[in-house]
């Protein structure tokens, strides 16, 4: 038995989730290798001569990193939810159409060519990974269209083939690279939060939040699409427009996330399913809650990555996989009776 989603319920649920997000952000910004005194933070940045270290750590290091983790988590979780409905496949994640290998290839090329410049505060690795990710999605979309109008199977196969090909190229380049370059590449591939420039952070935040808002806007159409393209069109939904917008935005915010933090797995798969199991499949609720919970998930994971082996740091991708896997299994067992597609 479940109740119908009403604007009031949706607003309350989103509000509560946002409250939780803010609490988590606040809690995680206090935790760390250095103890930060809040009182000291609020006393300001200090003068030119004597910098206030608490303020510096809090505002310049921890806060940007937490915002970054939140953005990446939100983007990956929403993109995962969208790819799952577009491809009508519960196993889909943001990387399913070859974004991971495209971004990886871009990163490897950047590392090997040894570029040394920045664009909007981002390193060549980030810029190349972004371009690689978007280029790959475009290529997969293009090949998918050649096989038919929008054949899910065609798209998935194109994704698998492009993925395999780019992975092979990536391995080839890694095998001829110098060892320190290989290390940089592998470290990037594992997924990491690195404190970046504020400008890059704000631009990415705009892209991700705007993208999620647009996805929310088309969420009733995504609901209809879960019944398949023909059914959705029969009900009067413009499937070409819906699919193009959903596909473009999901790929775009994934590319932004990948360029910010490398390849972080599991968020895009675990979070949407968790939300679906607890709150149901309605995309009007699924999209915003996935975004917020994805942010919380990655902020917590990144905080763990910072403190578990302090003063060293773990790649956050390792943490998400280690806590995401069992967490998902518990959800799966506990709620599988509620949900039909698991049968």
Contact flag: residue 228 with other proteins (CB under 8 A): yes
Round to whole Å and give the CA distance between 335 and 274.
9
Q: Which stretch binds other proteins (CB under 8 A): 68-76, 197-205, 228-236, 323-331?
A: 228-236
Interface map 95-134 toward other proteins (x if CB under 8 A) = ----------------------------------------
Contact flag: residue 284 with other proteins (CB under 8 A): yes
Count other C-beta atoms under 10 Å from residue 71's C-beta. Answer: 26
Supply the minimum distance, in Å, between the C-beta of residue 243 and other proteins: 13
Q: Which stretch binds other proteins (CB under 8 A): 118-126, 140-148, 182-190, 234-242?
A: 234-242
Contact criterion met (CB below 8 Å) for 34 and 168: no
Round to whole Å and give the CA distance between 240 and 245.
9
Please spell the DSSP secondary structure of 101-138, one letter per residue. HHHHHHHHHHHHHT----BTTB-HHHHHHHHHHHHHHH
* Cα separation values, 3 from 10, 16, 89, Å: 12, 18, 25
**Looking at 32, 88, 120, 313, which residue binds other proteins (CB under 8 A)?**
88
* Cα separation values, 300 from 86, 264, 303, 315, Å: 29, 14, 5, 13
Supply the minimum distance, in Å, between the C-beta of residue 284 and other proteins: 5
Round to whole Å and give the CA distance between 243 and 217.
13
**Looking at 216, 247, 279, 297, which residue binds other proteins (CB under 8 A)?**
216
**Looking at 12, 22, 31, 235, which residue binds other proteins (CB under 8 A)?**
235
Q: Which stretch binds other proteins (CB under 8 A): 68-76, 246-254, 289-297, 334-342?
A: 334-342
Q: Which stretch binds other proteins (CB under 8 A): 2-10, 136-144, 190-198, 200-208?
A: 2-10
Round to whole Å and give the CA distance between 201 and 65.
9
Alpha-helical (H) ranges within 31-62 are 38-42, 53-55
Contact flag: residue 7 with other proteins (CB under 8 A): yes
Contact flag: residue 340 with other proteins (CB under 8 A): yes
Supply the minimum distance, in Å, between the C-beta of residue 2 and other proteins: 6
Binding site for other proteins (CB under 8 A): 1-4, 6-7, 85, 88-90, 216-217, 219-221, 223-224, 226-228, 230-231, 233-239, 276, 280-282, 284, 338-341, 343
């Amino acid at each position: 038995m479940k109740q119908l989603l009403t604007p009031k319920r949706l607003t309350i649920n989103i509000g509560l989730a946002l409250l939780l997000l803010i609490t988590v952000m606040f809690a995680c910004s206090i935790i760390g290798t250095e103890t930060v005194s809040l009182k000291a933070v609020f006393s300001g940045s200090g003068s030119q001569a004597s910098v206030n270290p608490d303020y510096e750590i809090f505002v310049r290091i921890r806060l940007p990193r937490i915002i970054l983790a939140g953005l990446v988590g939100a983007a990956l979780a929403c993109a995962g939810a969208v790819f799952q409905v577009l491809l009508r496949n519960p196993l889909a994640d943001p990387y399913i159409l070859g974004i991971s290998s495209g971004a990886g290839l871009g990163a490897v090329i950047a590392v090997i060519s040894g570029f040394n410049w920045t664009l909007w505060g981002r390193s060549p690795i980030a810029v190349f990974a972004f371009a690689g990710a978007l280029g790959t999605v475009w290529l997969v979309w293009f090949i998918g269209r050649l096989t038919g109008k929008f054949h899910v199977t065609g798209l998935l196969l194109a994704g698998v083939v492009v993925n395999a090909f780019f992975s092979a190229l990536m391995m080839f380049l890694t095998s001829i690279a110098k060892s320190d370059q290989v290390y940089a590449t592998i470290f990037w591939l594992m997924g990491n939060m690195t404190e970046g420039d504020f400008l890059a952070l704000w631009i990415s935040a705009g892209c991700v939040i705007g993208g999620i808002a647009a996805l929310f806007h088309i969420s009733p159409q995504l609901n209809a699409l879960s019944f398949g393209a023909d059914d959705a069109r029969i009900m009067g939904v413009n499937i070409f427009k819906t699919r193009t917008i959903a596909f473009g935005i999901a790929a775009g915010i994934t590319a932004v996330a990948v360029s910010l933090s490398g390849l972080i797995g599991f968020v895009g798969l675990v979070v949407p399913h968790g939300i679906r199991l607890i709150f149901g499949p309605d995309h009007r609720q699924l999209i915003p809650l996935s975004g917020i919970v994805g942010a919380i998930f990655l902020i917590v994971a990144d905080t763990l990555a910072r403190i578990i082996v302090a003063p060293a740091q773990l790649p956050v991708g390792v943490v998400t996989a280690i806590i995401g896997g069992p967490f998902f299994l518990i959800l799966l067992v506990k709620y599988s009776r509620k949900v039909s597609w698991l049968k």
